[in-house]
Amino acid sequence: MSLHDSAQSLLWIVVTVACYFIGLGLRRIARHNALANPVLVAVVLVASLLLATHTPYAVYFRATWLLTFLLAPATVALGVPLARNFAHVRQSLRGVLLGLFAGSITSMVSGVLLVRLLGGSKGVALSMLPKAATTPIAIAVASQIGGEPALTAALAIVGGIVAAMTLRAVLGGISVTHGHAMGLAAGTAGSGIAGAHAALMGDAPAAFAAIGIGMNGLLTALLAPLVAALFNF
Amino acid sequence: MTNAASATHRIGRAIFSGIIGLVMLLALTLVGGDAREVFHLPLPGPVIGLALLAGLVLLIERFHAWTARHLTLHLVPVSRLLVSHMGLLFVPAGVGIITEGEALRREWLPIVAAVLGSTLIGLAATGWLMHQFSPKSSETGS
């Protein structure tokens, strides 16, 4: 890596962190309104900057490898709240398992159905199918069943942002206000981004989010080919 | 003077502890990746690392509570930092949406409706069933 490359890498990392901090600031100004999502703000700002400076996405993505790399230990880190709240998880094992299955299957099936009913292509439907799973699983499953991995990655992240923004409203709407259920729903339907959002509520929601992320990843990897076959793809 | 010195000392210890914690997390990421390869598991390395970390802490806790406490002492601060700002780490991948302009222009309605709809349905289904089948004694907030 030349000096120029590392300077550029540092520049884009700093820009990304700065945009995220602007997002955090906006969230504070908006009094933690869920609609002021720092990830969404940062993505929009960075995307605008790339388009304005005619920087190819590949250059930006390579420059910010360190941030993407840290996703791995950040995911492992969810094991800490999980260990500390394992008793809670074991206590509500039946609810956890039923919730997981329901969430995983309805996410996959409703994604495919909505795309197809609204006239979307098979490729988009198959890219939509695994998008609730944690991004690396979603990408692997997409390429396995014939979706477009890059589109799936984008959908997984947008879905995570949507889940984080609507978590309280949706669950509040059906009178589910308990932190455990919120954490599980966030991790299952919105994986890392929504799970991290639920973790802001405390250690126990973080533990249930960790279960949701890990188990929905597993369920999606196992069931996605079956769901795809069900739709005759 | 002593105040400043003890503050520096505290910050130094926090950084040291954070580094130990981060090294543990990275080691488990690697072990998770290896386990995935060796056992052909359908899960990414970090998710296996997550399960291993939780299992390890619980196992050590059962046999040697003191060690488990000290392990988590180093792990908790860095884990909290990483988890609460995990969103930042997704930004580079999220910006990748700009390369999907063509698919979005072509099929924006099914894409937007399906992402929104299926995410909301998934959230509601998970939360509702979890709520219905949870022991009511633990319904005391988070």
CB contact under 8 Å between A192 and B90, yes or no, is: yes
Q: Are both A158 and A83 inside the same structural domain?
A: yes
Whether residues B102 and B80 fall in one domain: no
Q: Residue B24 domain-assigned?
A: yes
Q: Which of A30, A47, A71 is the last residue of a domain?
A: A71
Residue B110 inside a domain? The answer is yes
Same domain, B45 and B111: no
What pLDDT, in 10s, does the model give residues A15-35? 999 999 999 999 999 988 888
Residue A98, domain extent: 79-230
Residue-averaged pLDDT of chain B? 88
Could you report the per-residue pLDDT of B9-33, keeping only the tens digit for each? Answer: 888 888 888 899 999 999 999 999 9
> Is residue A143 located within the same domain as residue A29?
no
Q: What is the pLDDT of residue A2?
A: 62
CA distance A133 to A195: 12
Q: In sequence order, what DSSP letters do the residues of chain A get, joined into one string? A: --HHHHHHHHHHHHHHHHHHHHHHHHHHHTTT-TTS-HHHHHHHHHHHHHHHTT--HHHHHHHTHHHHHHHHHHHHHTHHHHHHTHHHHHHTHHHHHHHHHHHHHHHHHHHHHHHHHTT--HHHHHHHTTTTS-HHHHHHHHHHHT--HHHHHHHHHHHHHHHHHHHHHHHHHTT---HHHHHHHHHHHHHHHHHHHHHTT-HHHHHHHHHHHHHHHHHHHHHHHHHHHHTT-
Indicate if A25 and A95 belong to the same structural domain: no
Residue A88 amino acid letter: H
Cβ contact, residue pair A43, B25, below 8 Å: no
Q: Tell whether the model's pLDDT for residue A1 goes beyond 60.
A: no
Closest CB to A163 among B22, B45, B123: B123
Q: Are residues B32 and B55 in the same domain?
A: yes
User: What ipTM does the predicted assembly reach?
Assistant: 0.92
Looking at the fold, whether A178 and A222 belong to one and the same domain comes out as: yes
On whether residue B137 sits in a domain, the answer given is no
Within this chain, do residues A100 and A41 fall inside the same structural domain, yes or no? no
- Residue carrying structure tokens 């105040």: B3
Q: Say if residue B7 is in the same domain as residue B66.
A: yes
- Taking the Cβ of residue B111 and every Cβ of chain A, the question of whether any pair is shorter than 8 Å is answered with yes
Give the structural domain span for B65. Answer: 1-85
- Average the pLDDT over A197-218 and give the result: 93
- Whether A43 has its CB under 8 Å from any CB of chain B: the answer is yes
Separation of alpha carbons A133 and B41, rounded Å: 16
pLDDT at site A33: 86
Claim to verify: residue A95 and residue A59 sit in the same structural domain = no
User: What is the tally of structural domains in chain B?
Assistant: 2
Answer whether A221 sits within 8 Å of B103, measured CB to CB. Answer: no
Answer whether residue B91 is part of any domain.
no
- Per-residue model confidence as pLDDT tens digits over A33-71: 888 999 999 999 999 999 999 999 999 999 999 999 999
pLDDT band at B138 (very low <50, low <70, confident <90, very high): very low
Among chain A residues, CA nearest to B89: A67
Q: Are residues B57 and B112 in the same domain?
A: no
pLDDT tens track for A144-193? 999 999 999 999 999 999 999 999 999 999 999 999 999 999 999 999 99
All residues at 6 or more sequence positions from A201 whose CB lies less than 8 Å from its CB, including other chains: A179, A182, A183, B142
- Phi and psi for A54 in degrees, rounded to 5? 55, 40
Which B residues, 89 through 108, put their C-beta within 8 Å of a C-beta on chain A? 89-100, 103, 107
Q: Which of A34, A50, A71 is the last residue of a domain?
A: A71
What residues of B are in contact with residue A201 (Cβ under 8 Å)? Answer: 142
Q: Are A181 and B123 in contact (CB under 8 A)?
A: no
CA of B48, closest CA in chain A: separation in Å?
8
pLDDT above 70 as % of chain A: 98
Based on the fold, state whether residues A44 and A104 are members of the same structural domain.
Answer: no
Backbone angles phi, psi at B13, to 5 degrees: -65, -40
* Interchain contact, B43 vs A221, CB within 8 Å: yes
Domain boundary, last residue among A71, A90, A109: A71
**Is B122 within 8 Å of A103 (Cβ atoms)?**
yes
User: Which residue has better confidence, A107 or B139?
Assistant: A107
Please tell me whether residues A141 and A93 are part of one structural domain: yes
CA distance A66 to B96: 16
The answer to whether residue B142 is domain-embedded is no
pLDDT of residue B2: 62
B52 and B118 part of one domain: no
Chain B contact present for A220, CB below 8 A? no
A192: contact with B, CB 8 A cutoff: yes
Model pTM? 0.90
In this structure, are B4 and B53 located in the same domain? yes
Structural domain count of chain A: 2
- CA-CA distance, A1 to A7, in Å (whole number)? 10
Q: Which residues of B touch A173 (CB under 8 A)?
A: 124
**C-alpha distances out from residue A134 to A52, A76, A214, Å:** 31, 13, 8
Q: A195 and A157 in one domain?
A: yes
Q: Do B121 and A151 count as a contact with CB atoms less than 8 A apart?
A: no
What pLDDT, in 10s, does the model give residues B46-74?
Answer: 889 999 999 998 999 888 888 888 888 88
Which DSSP string do the residues of B46-61 spell out, in sequence order?
HHHHHHHHHHHHHHHH
Q: For residue A46, give the nearest of B57, B91, B141 by CB distance.
A: B91
B11 and B59 assigned to the same domain:
yes
Are B61 and B118 members of one domain? no
Residues in B closer than 8 angstroms to A222, CB to CB, are 42
**Tokens at residue B12, please?**
């130094």
DSSP for chain B reads: -HHHHHHHHHHHHHHHHHHHHHHHHHHHHHHHHHHHHHHT-SS-HHHHHHHHHHHHHHHHHHH-HHHHHHHHHHHHHHHHHHHHTHHHHHHHHHGGGGGGHHHHHHSHHHHHHHHHHHHHHHHHHHHHHHHHTS-GGG-S--
Q: How far is CA A111 from CA A99, A125, B95, in A?
A: 18, 7, 22
If asked whether residues A122 and A141 sit together in one domain, one would say yes
